[in-house]
Amino acid sequence: MKSIFRVFYSGLSISFLGSIVIGTIGLSAMQISVTEGIRPAINFSIGSIVAEVIYVRLILVALEWVQKHERIFKILEWVTVLIVVVLAIASFKASLGEHGAKNVLLSHTMHRFLLGLMMRALSPASIPFWLGWSAILQTKGILQDKKGFYNGYLLGIALGTFAAHCIFIFGGKMVVEKLNASQETINFIIGCVFSLTAILQIWRILKKRSASKKKHKKK
């Protein structure tokens, strides 16, 4: 029982610290909470968590196969960048107050749970993150190939991510209300953060590629 709690706590801690870093999903949850309310934002968060838990469960089932197919993740990394760029452009357009200009998140009537599920599924930046941590925890013997351990790990991940999203959802809404900022200003700030996120993601991809080339040259 103590070992299962340990893997649960590991999943919770890693997930919370990984999700608290400003990213596409957290910012989107915050934007929805500001423009539509808390409930739609929570629905969005739960949808994204469901997709994340499914990804992690698949990683645990096929850890070796996933580690051998790095090219798939290189493609997915660029897909993530594309999605963030689209979100940034949409936010900047909305900040200009153009007639009918809305952030891409608000341009359709899709239920926010499904939107969260879809956005996480289409931008699986968390896969390499959980691939690395799952491998480390297995190597250290914290995460064992048993159903109870897997369930505890996934529950910890879900709760950790949700706790981090709540900071964005409730904290972001509270800050915006205290500042009494206009919707255009909010969209502009969020557009800037999305742009910075895209730049950092591109920098990481190029840095990783450069390190990989150097490694191959040494061989």
pLDDT digits (tens, 9 = 90+) for 60-80: 887 666 656 566 666 766 776
Threshold 0.75, pTM exceeds: no
Domain total of the chain: 1
Helices marked H in 69-182 — which ranges? 70-95, 112-122, 126-139, 147-166, 172-179
Share of the chain above pLDDT 70, in %: 75
* pLDDT per residue as tens digits for the range 78-110: 776 777 787 778 777 766 765 444 555 555 578
Nearest Cα residue to 186 out of 41, 31, 33: 31
Q: How far is residue 88's CA from residue 120's CA, in Å, rounded to a whole number?
A: 17
**Which residues constitute the domain of residue 118?**
2-211
Question: Is residue 58 in a domain?
Answer: yes
What pLDDT digit, counting tens, does each position of 119-139 carry?
888 776 677 778 778 888 888
Any domain includes 141: yes
User: Is 40 a member of any domain?
Assistant: yes
Q: Which is nearest to 8 in space by CA: 45, 18, 16?
A: 16
217 lies in some domain: no
Is residue 218 situated within a structural domain? no
In a domain, 45, yes or no: yes
User: Minimal CA–CA distance to 135: which of 67, 191, 196, 181?
Assistant: 67
Please state, in angstroms and as integers, the Cα–Cα distance from residue 196 to each residue in 37, 81, 165, following that order.
Answer: 26, 11, 20
Q: How many CA atoms lie within 13 A of 175 on its CB side?
A: 11
pLDDT, tens digit, for every residue of 129-176?
787 788 888 888 888 888 889 999 999 999 999 999 999 899 877 877
216 in a structural domain? no
